[in-house]
Amino acid sequence: MLICCKKSANTTGSTSTNTSSDTTYNTLYIPPTLTGTSFNLALGKSSKQFFTGATTQTYSYNGLPFWGPTLIFNKGDNVSFNITNNLTDTTTLHWHGFHIPAIMDGGPHQKIAPGATWSPHFTVMNNASTFWFHPHLHEKTYEQITMGAGGLIIVKDPIESALNLPRTYGTDDIPLVLTSRRFNSDISFNTNVNDYGDYLLANGTLNPQISLPKQYVRFRILNAEIERAYNLGFSDGRTFYVISNDGGLLDAPVGVTRVVLGVGERVEILVNLGGDNVGSSLKLMSYNSNQTFGYPGGESSQSGALGSLLNNKDFEVLKINVAAANAQAITSIPTKLTTNTTLTAADATSNISTSITAGQGGSEFAFDNNNYNYVTINHKIPLNTTVKWTFVNSNVFGHSIHIHDIQFKIVSRSSGAIQNYEQGWKDTFFLHLGETVSVVAKFDDFADATNPFMYHCHFPNHEDAGLMGQFIVTP
């Protein structure tokens, strides 16, 4: 464990991490953007100084220190890429949330050998929202994501652009990628299969702070963790507004004081700083104390593979220092955002049921008793079928379930109501321990008799261990 650093003080005694008055804050890193229709991304080794006096080896795209550039796409554009692998290990690059052909999806089958370049292209069909890209090589996803490989994607479209919303990137429209890492004593990343990191990183920044203008501010938040869920809220309990989740805008802003974000999920929120005094500060927190078992990061242990210094705590995510309003201040929010088409259980023309079970060879987690393998096609879905897909979790822990290709509607949660902020289009949802959740989606494009799409737990360690399956959309 940490022995060299000031931060190690947090490992003893205190029950509240990152909230002591002597915390040294670092300015939140804002990843640079890449725009246009043709993009070059090169994954390679890099490094970043997280702690004074020590450098940590990382992986990143385009030589950035940790975590890649933010790609900005316009709906309707034809985009193309050169993805170069400068690692000594094979990788892939997956477009999380995108509705694109399986062969372009960057799942485990679209391998990029060391030194090779993969050149996918697709039409951006998704609505405006926040997406991401990350490696997806089976049994290497945990390691490559842990080392820092990933990046955000912002899609813009005419409906979102016509709304009076904050959208000046880095000024009042803030990307916020949440994860955590465990460090070895030499401050290298600990890449043993840990479920949790010990130190929160927001865009790769330890103890982050940001100055934000005294007006409505938007955050695009991605949970890029290994397992931890975030129960987000502000330190003064103020109401904030969810305007978008995984697949696009909600019909109208949803006022909340907490939003739970599982691994792989995104939300866009608006928070009003217009009533705050210039010079005051506010904290975005994760209220992870006293969760029921099965909530990832609620465990009481502080160390070991299932433990973390952040477990079962309310911890600080971002310190916000309020500065003067700017000239383009957004001072109110729209009451109506978009009109999403409804898709209900009654629209389904076929059903799939998937259970979380144990697998072979001591695997703790598998779908329907079978560990993932490259050749088994678990489901064949005829083109234009509307499927109600039910996930049953009577196994030992909660999971974050992601389906490639489609955006779906959550139509039932056996544990109770679907949260208002989970309405709209989703590609990932948290599946509680003991819960059954059904989603409905239409598979109306990209029939391909041979190239499969993945569905899996988005905890990279679970996915690598076999909690993944694949389907083809048949002509």
**How far apart are the C-alpha atoms of 71 and 124, rounded to whole Å?**
12
User: How many angstroms separate the CA atoms of 298 and 290, rounded?
Assistant: 7
Q: From the CB of 264, what's the least distance to ligand C2O, in Å? A: 5
Range in contact with ligand C2O (rule: CB under 6 A) among 296-304, 323-331, 388-396, 454-462: 454-462
Q: Tell me the one-letter amino acid at 164.
A: N
Residues 6+ apart with CB under 8 A from 35: 71, 72
In order of 163, 248, 394, the CA distances from 128 in angstroms are 12, 6, 35
Single residue of 75, 94, 220, 442 touching ligand C2O by CB under 6 A: 94
Among 140, 399, 442, 456, binds ligand C2O (CB under 6 A): 456
Please report how close the Cβ of residue 263 comes to Cu ion at its closest, in angstroms.
Answer: 8
432 is a contact residue toward Cu ion (CB under 5 A):
no
Size of the site for Cu ion (CB under 5 A): 4
Residue 402 touching ligand C2O (CB under 6 A): yes
Nearer to Cu ion, 140 or 462 (CB): 462
Nearest to ligand C2O of 122, 241 (CB atom): 122
459 binds, options Cu ion, ligand C2O, none, Cβ within 5 to 8 A by partner type: Cu ion
Judged by CB under 6 A, the stretch of 6-14, 179-187, 207-215, 452-460 that binds ligand C2O is 452-460
Query: Does 99 interact with ligand C2O (rule: CB under 6 A)?
Result: no
CA distances from 236 to 8, 240, 271, 409 (A): 28, 11, 12, 32
- The single-letter DSSP state of residue 56 is E
Q: What is the DSSP string of 213-227?
A: ESSEEEEEEEE--SS
The closest alpha carbon to 362, from 353, 354, 371, belongs to 371
Under the binding rule (CB under 6 A), the answer on residue 399 touching ligand C2O is no
Indicate the residue among 198 and 463 with the shorter CB distance to ligand C2O. 463
State in angstroms the smallest separation of the CB of 15 from ligand C2O: 33
Does 319 participate in binding ligand C2O (rule CB under 6 A)?
no
Structure tokens at 186: 């030499």
Q: Is 136 in the site for ligand C2O (CB under 6 A)?
A: yes
Q: Mark out the alpha helices in 67-189 (DSSP H runs).
A: 141-146, 158-161
Radius of gyration of the chain (CA): 21
Q: In this structure, what are the phi and psi dihedrals at residue 453, rounded to the nearest 5 degrees?
A: -105, 155
Q: How far is the CB of 388 from Cu ion (least distance, A)?
A: 22
Give me the least distance between CB of 5 and ligand C2O, in Å please. Answer: 32
Assess 459 for contact with Cu ion (CB under 5 A): yes
Binding partner of residue 48 among Cu ion, ligand C2O, none, CB cut-off 5 to 8 Å per kind:
none
Quickly list DSSP for 173-198. EEEEEEEEE-B-TTS-B--S--S--S
Which residues contact ligand C2O by CB under 6 A?
94, 96, 134, 136, 264, 402, 404, 454, 456, 458
Which residues contact Cu ion by CB under 5 A?
399, 457, 459, 462
